[in-house]
């Protein structure tokens, strides 16, 4: 539940989700669930011309299983908090 809890703290922030098919979408994080499915609002696609079908899409749901990376906003990464949470999780918490 570590990353689910962490992503919940990012709701309202801007993130870039990079998919396994190389599509990269920047948008405001609207919500996340325990599978790390992600909903984004006000999206824009990196390299839009390559993905014309996304031109008319303004909000989207991304299935967690197709995510490769999520670029996180630097201001909202509390590394101490992450270390503590990770150690707690590793202990079987």
Partner 1 sequence: MDENITLPPNIEDIPPPGLALVEELDKLLLVQLRDGRKIIGTLRSFDQFANLVLSDSKERIIVAEQYAEIPLGLHVVRGENVVLLGELDAAREPPPGLQLVSEAAIKQAQRAEREADKLKGTLRSRFFDFLDDI
Partner 2 sequence: MAATEEDNTVREPLDLIRLSLDERVYVKLKGERELRGKLHAYDQHLNMILGDVEETVTSVEIDDETFEEIIKTNKRMVPYLFVRGDGVILVSPPLRS
Query: Which residues bind to partner 2, rule: CB under 8 A?
Result: 2-3, 6-7, 20, 36, 64-65, 67-74, 77, 79, 82-83, 85-87, 89-91
Among positions 11-30, residues that touch partner 1 (CB under 8 A) are 19, 21, 23, 25
Based on CB atoms, which residue is closest to partner 1, 23 or 72?
23
How far apart are the C-alpha atoms of 70 and 37, rounded to whole Å? Answer: 12
**Residue 44 lies near partner 1 (rule: CB under 8 A):** no
Q: How far is CA 21 from CA 16, 55, 62, 65, 67, in A?
A: 14, 17, 12, 12, 9
How far apart are the C-alpha atoms of 55 and 19, rounded to whole Å? Answer: 17
How far apart are the C-alpha atoms of 62 and 71, rounded to whole Å? Answer: 15
What does 69 interact with, of partner 2, partner 1, none (CB < 5 to 8 A by kind)? Answer: partner 2
Query: Which residue is listed with tokens 């995510």?
Result: 67
Among 24, 54, 72, 85, binds partner 1 (CB under 8 A): 54
User: What residues line the site for partner 1 (CB under 8 A)?
Assistant: 4, 19, 21, 23, 25, 31-35, 37-39, 52-63, 65-66
């Amino acid at each position: 539940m570590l990353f689910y809890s962490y992503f919940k703290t990012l709701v309202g922030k801007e993130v870039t989700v990079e998919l396994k098919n190389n599509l990269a979408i920047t948008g405001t994080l609207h919500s996340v669930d325990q599978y790390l499915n992600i909903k984004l609002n006000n999206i824009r696609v990196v390299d839009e011309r390559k993905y014309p079908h996304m031109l008319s899409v303004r909000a989207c749901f991304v299935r967690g299983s197709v995510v490769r990376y999520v670029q996180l906003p630097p201001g909202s990464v509390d590394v101490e908090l992450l270390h503590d949470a990770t150690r707690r999780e590793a202990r079987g918490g």
